[in-house]
Structure 1
Amino acid sequence: MRISLTPAIRRAGLPLIAVAGLAATALVIAPTAQAQQPAGAAQPVHTQRACAIPARAGDMACKALRVTSGTVHAARTATVTPASANAATPTGYGPTDLRAAYGLTAASAANGAGETIAIVDAYDDPNAAADLAKYRTYYGLTACTVANGCFKKVSQTGSTTSLPTADSGWAEEISLDLDMASAICPKCNILLVEATSPTMANLGKSVNEAVTLGAKFVSNSYGGSESSSDTSYDSSYFNHPGVAITVSAGDAGYGAEYPAASKYVTSVGGTALSKSTNARGWTESVWSTSSTEGTGSGCSAYDAKPTWQTDTGCARRTISDVSAVADPATGVAVYDSYGVTAGWYTFGGTSVASPLIAGVYAVAGTPSAGSYPASFPYAHKTALNDVTTGSNGSCSGSYLCTGKAGYDGPTGLGTPIGTTAFTG
């Protein structure tokens, strides 16, 4: 049986009976009061999870964090207040920012034509196509619609008409995922596969359906606690040679999650991304807002270490492989309208990073038959921005929770410099 626990609870080392009691009781903690800030000063960012903490053992949670107040992109002094959490114009990073930060020139961004990125999420977003159109129109991206064959939405069985129950929280996740795939690979087709519910079995069947329908790039922005069933899930749902499968590393700080721990996927950690006067024009550090909010990382309890991963601090699979922006304080712009006031929101979480990296793989081109794209970055380590500062918690092996030169758990081998590291 899989018990869905946060990494904070796992690190506490509670006995199983105590854990079971916690699992049965949902605690909602209000944000703490902040000291009064000088006028014009950056305000601490507060967020809200898009998806509720799973009520049932074995369910997955999406990794989208919506900014509800605070200053995002302090250099821009864009302050979000509760009354203006949605806006008429974006405050977060858009496609031009993201492509510039990760070395995707106008020429490389034009690649990806004919490729299909699949987005796997739970439940239905009735407004997915319309919200995607708003995002792409605002940023001047070419239309991606059902009518022109660019966008398609199906259930986990491939049906376009018999879709799951709608859910406003997962709809936010869907909007985020579709927008990030569009931002990085505007020429790609997009396939949205909606699972009936957020169980690993249904989400896994959705991954299989995405591959059956021809997607060579599949993004998964969800996760939960590991279990002894994970190795069977690996073989049933994630062992797809020739397909790049990306998974969010988690948003609760240091601690391993599944399916990010699968040896067959590219596990994607999170960074804080800020503009800079350096040669790159950008700087990044490990994303960590607090002891309970930040990118995931750590050692899998069940999954074997893939042959291309050679760090010595974990006997089994280490999370992460690569990373991208995830800090809500340096978050991205998303258009969403289902279950909320229609408008622009700022989002963070490793839900940003997973579809972003899937987009980079897609721009790089179709993986070779029989290959495992998770291995590609390990063959091109110098073609990544090494993230060497920041920490997402406390751990016995410092590199597992601290940014350092070379490989580290929170950011893996680093963030994209163009597509070289994502090419077989």
Structure 2
Amino acid sequence: MLIALCAATIALAPAASAAPAPRAACPDTGPGVLRCLTTFTPGATRALADGPAGWGADDLASTYRLPAGTGPGTVVGISIAYDAPNLEADLATYRAQYGLPPCTTANGCFRKVNQQGGAAPLPEADFGWAVESTLDVSMVSAACPSCRIVVVEGTTPGFADLAETEDTAVRLGAKVVSNSYGSREGGAQLAFASHYQHVGVTVVASSGDSGFTAASYPAALATTVAVGGTSLARNPDSPRGWEEQAWTYGGSGCSAYVAKPKWQKDTHCGKRAVADVSAVADGLAIYNTDAGGWLPVYGTSASAPFVAGLYGRSGRAGVAQPADLYARAAQFTDVTAGNNDPVGGGAKCGGDYLCVAGAGYDAPTGVGVPNGLGGF
């Protein structure tokens, strides 16, 4: 069985005493089986009295100049594996902290189903993927407080199961579907490519968390909006009040399988280049009961659902496709600093735009980061 990658990485503050060593949420089960890449430090969280650890919904609204108000009631689908038993309650805590309106099963805003679309039975629970789910719904909420959320839980992270969650989300009304997982691109996954293309639906996927490397599936599909990651910092001297650079671990790559789309004009990648657009992936605050409370998380598994929420809020979800980002590139804030070569600082790609941010399009950050909703 082939298993898809979960793109989030959890980084927790060290405990007062000697902190346990970080560990992978998903063990390496050997050749032929992929795993999620979530890592976490057990037992290290921050109490609410200290404030949520990481960037919150208010920070994201400020840095990306989101309009006042809540937005339309677009249905945003979340494709995910396994069950997150405390998902609705954890989302309620997040939304209350940042003054966002309730999103519950009772008011019709929140829905969680299995991969066939049924309320029961739900898949077995999994800690690492549950944190991923919590991150996804929190980021959609930060981007579009009024969007309705349907979470479709796959029985396993296998390619076939996650492909079915995609179809089910669309069948249940999603106009944009977020996929915070990935795997190293290969021929086997491409058999499921059609599930990531639906008329009247915008599909968004994480670019990966391994820096400049082989392109990540399903982000490498020409039908998906591939979302890279940035690191965010306050800068009172900047007109925005913020500054961003390419996140060191954000994924970028050049597809070995998918033909160059006509709307991509970069010259050093003969096939599909990843990513298309980006947003902060470095240190987002979420609340997760099983992890012990508020914690910062890292990954393009944060930037992808945030961008999905922006599509939902824009009113163009379903109409907008990857090509539109390039046509509207001037409406994004260009990211011109940083790279996603953790060891070589850009040497891995020879200082090229494939792993080093610069003026105009670059693979780590795409056309740039949101500046309001005009680019979507």
Q: Does 1:166 align with 2:125?
A: yes
Measured on the aligned residues, the alpha-carbon RMSD in Å equals 2.3
CA 1:337–1:180 in structure 2 vs 1: closer, same or farther (change >3 Å)? same
Aligned residue in 2 for 1:285:
245
State the alpha-carbon separation in 2 of the partners of residues 47 and 323 from structure 1: 27
Distance 1:3 1:114 in 2: 33
Alpha-carbon contact 2:357-2:363 (below 8 Å) kept: yes
Query: Which residue of the other structure, out of 337, 345, 351, is the alignment partner of 2:289?
Result: 337
Alignment of 1:320 onto 2:275: yes
| 1:248 correspondence with 2:206 | yes
> What SS does the corresponding residue of 1:262 show, helix, strand or coil?
coil
Distance 1:106 1:4 in 2: 37
The residue correspondences of 1:94-133 to structure 2 (distance < 5 A) are 94-107=56-69, 110-111=70-71, 113-133=72-92
CA deviation string 1:262-307 (max 9, x = no partner): 110000101001111210111011111xxxxx01101011111222
Give me the whole-angstrom Cα distance separating, in 2, the residues matched to 1:60 and 1:385: 34
What is the CA deviation profile of residues 107-131 of structure 1, one whole-angstrom value per residue up to 9, with x for unaligned ones? 4xx21x2211111110001111111
Q: CA deviation at 1:59?
A: 3.9
The answer to whether the 8 Å contact 2:197/2:203 transfers is no
Q: What is the aligned counterpart of 1:405 among 352, 359, 363?
A: 359
Counterpart mapping for 1:230-249 below 5 A? 230-235=189-194, 237-249=195-207
Matched, 1:184 2:127: no
1:382 and 2:340 correspond:
no
- Cα separation, 1, equivalents of 2:196 and 2:294: 34
| Distance 1:298-1:397 versus aligned 2 partners, 3 A rule | farther
The reply to whether residue 57 of structure 1 matches residue 32 of structure 2 is yes
Post-superposition Cα deviations, 1:342-385, rounded to whole Å, max 9, x if no partner, equal x10111111110101001111111446xx551122111111111
Q: Deviations over 1:207-233 (max 9, x none)?
A: 111011110111111111111134332
Alignment equivalent of 2:54, drawn from 92, 100, 114: 92
Write the deviation string for residues 82-105 of structure 1: whole angstroms up to 9, x where unpaired: 864242230211111001111102
After TM superposition, which residue ranges in structure 1, 4 or more long, deviate above 3 angstroms?
Answer: 1-6, 46-56
Aligned partner of 1:149 in structure 2 is 108
For 1:33-44, list aligned pairs within 5 A: none
Which whole-Å CA distance do the structure 1 matches of 2:220 and 2:186 have between them? 11
- Structure 1: gaps (5+ residues): 7-45, 69-81, 289-293
Contact 1:59–1:198 (8 Å) recurs in 2: no
Find the residue that maps to 1:345 and give its secondary structure. Answer: strand
Alpha-carbon distance between aligned partners in 2 of 1:54 and 1:250, rounded to the nearest angstrom: 20
| Cα distance change, pair 51–2 in 1 and its aligned pair in 2 (3 A) | closer
1:272 partner SS: strand
Counterparts of 1:311 and 1:58 in 2: how far apart (Å)? 33
TM-score by length of 2: 0.88
Unmatched runs of 5 consecutive residues or more in structure 2: 7-20, 342-347
